[in-house]
Amino acid sequence: MSNNPYGTQGYGTQGYGAQTTATGARAPSAPTGGGGGAAPSPAGAADLVKDTTTAKFPADVLQESRRQPVLVDFWAPWCGPCKQLTPILEKVVHAAGGRVKLVKMNIDEHPSIAGQLGVQSIPAVFAFVNGQPVDGFMGALPESEVKAFVDRLTGGAAAGGEDPVAAAFEDAKALLAEGDVTQAAQVFSAILQHDAGHVGALGGLADCYLTMGDAAHARAILDSVPADKAADPAVAGVATRLKLAEEIAELGDPVALQARIEGDADDHQARFDLALIAQARGQRDVAAGHLLEIIRRDRSWNEDGARRKLLEFFEAWGGGDAATKDARRKLSTLLFS
C-alpha cells in the first residue's frame, strides 16, 4: 500500500482485488449498511461495528483505540472487493467478542482521512492502538487471514497447528533481521524449492542478495515475480530499496549538503538529499528525522515530497522495523495534531 504511513508493504499484508481510489466505475449510491454493502450489525453487538465520518474519526477511532484496538475499513460503493471484505471483517470482529472494534469509512463521502494516510487503493484496513496506526493490510483477504491478523493484533490464539512452510518463512525473516543473511538466504531458497511461487520467499531472497550488494541477482528474482504479485509488500519493499539505491548515485557530497542546512534551515532540498544518503548508509532514524523535519517546516514542499519519500522508506524497511514504527508515530502526530 504505497503512499501511506505503512508503505506497501511491510505494511501487514496484501489481499486480492484491491482497486485504486483513482479508478473504478462509481455506483449511483452507497449500499445500505455501510462499508462494502455489508448487512447491519446484529442486535446487541452494534457497538462493535459502526460507520464514521471525518468529524467523528477522533472519537470513534483515536480515542476508542485507547480502550481496545480499532480496525478502520476504508471503502467505497463502487469497489467490488470491498463488498467481499467488509462482511468478513464484521464476522471476525463479532467473533472476537469485544477484543477489537471495526469502524467503516466511505472515502467518497469522507476522503480527507484516507488522503492523510496515503490510501491509494481499497479496500484498505488500518489497525489503530493507543491513537496510532500500528498495522494493516489492503485488498480482500480470506477469512482465515483476517482472523489471523486480528489474533496477532489482540494477542488471541491462532487456530489449528502451525504450517511448517509458514514457520520456516518466519524463521528466515528473523535470521535476516538479525543479520544472518547467508543462513536466511538458504532458508528462503529451501522454501522456494517447496513452493516456487511463494512471494514472501522470493522477496526475502531478493532482499538477501540486495543486502549482500548483489543488485543484479536481486533484480533477476524480482523480475521473476508474476505481474499480479508485483505490488505485494514482500517484493515491493525490495524493489523500492533498489530504486532508492539508484537515486543515491545521483546525490552530492553530504558534508556540503550539511553545510547548506546550517546556513539555511529551510533548504529543504539539501535536507531531502541528506535523508536519501542516510537511507543508503542504513541510518534509518537519521533519514526519517530529516524528512519529518521537512514535513514539520513545510508539508507542501515539492508537492508533499517529503511525506511521500518517507512512505517509500517505510515500505523498504518493513512495518515491523523499529525505525518504521517510531517514524510512523511521529508522522501520525504531525498529520493529526
Active site (catalytic) residues: 79, 82
Inter-residue contact 132 to 147 (CB < 8 Å): no
Instruction: Phi first, then psi: give them for residue 210, nearest 5 degrees.
Output: -65, -40
Report the DSSP beta bridge partners of residue 106: 75
Angle at 169 between CA 163 and CA 170, to 5 degrees: 90
Inter-residue contact 118 to 65 (CB < 8 Å): no
- Find how far residue 291's CA is from the centre of its chain: 18
The three three-digit cell numbers of residue 46, written as one number:
452494534
Which amino acid is located at 334 in the chain?
L
Angle at 4 between CA 62 and CA 134, to 5 degrees: 45
Instruction: Phi first, then psi: give them for residue 50, nearest 5 degrees.
Output: -155, 160
Whole-angstrom distance, CA of residue 257 vs CA of residue 308: 21
Which amino acid is located at 184 in the chain?
A
The three three-digit cell numbers of residue 79, written as one number:
469497489
Whole-angstrom distance, CA of residue 182 vs CA of residue 106: 46
